Amino acid sequence: MNVLRASVRRIVDRGGVRCGEVEVKTDDPEHPVLLAYMTPTYGDEYDMVSLLGNDADMEIDWYDNNLHHAFTDETMALSSGMDGNVELASLKQQILASGVVREDLARELSR
């Protein structure tokens, strides 16, 4: 999986932890859009604590549609397998290197 484009959407609280929500567009047809949740560690490094599949569609998700799960947790699915952790580490580095994601995270999470 390769990152085509990534950008910081907002800062959110996930389980009591402030995270940068990063929208990621990939070349993977099974996961074309993901939401990566990043937390600062030390220096200018970040941990990717969660990865959600984003299948939101305004035509069917504008109301409370319990028949469609617009956001699915893909963290475990993408980290399983022989090279799962290596792939996640590569994905994280691609996200942080995309555009100004690292700079935006540093600015927004320091507020």
| Domain membership flag for residue 63 | no
The DSSP code for 63 is: S
Average the pLDDT over 6-18 and give the result. 94
Sign for the pseudo-dihedral over CA of 1, 41, 104, 9: positive
Instruction: Please give the Cα distance from 55 to 109 (Å, whole number).
Output: 26
Contact (CB, 8 A) for 46 and 24: no
100 assigned to some structural domain: yes
What is the per-residue pLDDT for 16? 92
Does residue 7 belong to any structural domain of this protein? yes
Average pLDDT over residues 55-74: 54
- 64 lies in some domain: no
The string of pLDDT tens digits covering residues 98-108 is 999 999 999 99
Does residue 93 have a pLDDT over 80? Answer: yes
Across the chain, mean pLDDT equals 82
**Which residue, among 74, 90, 4, 77, has the nearest Cα to 36 in the 3D structure?**
74
**What is the sign of the dihedral through the CA atoms of 73, 94, 37 and 23?**
negative
Q: How far apart are CA 4 and CA 24, in angstroms?
A: 8
The pLDDT value given to residue 68: 41
Position 85 pLDDT exceeds 90? no
What pLDDT, in 10s, does the model give residues 18-61? 999 999 999 999 888 999 999 999 878 999 999 988 665 545 44
Structure tokens at 60: 């069917």
Identify the domain containing residue 18 by its residue range: 3-56+70-110
Domains held by the chain: number: 1
Domain contains 28: yes
Assigned domain for 65 exists: no
- Give dist(CA 94, CA 4) in Å, integer: 9
How many Å apart are CA 34 and CA 70, to the nearest integer?
11
Look at residue 82 and tell me whether its pLDDT is greater than 80. Answer: no
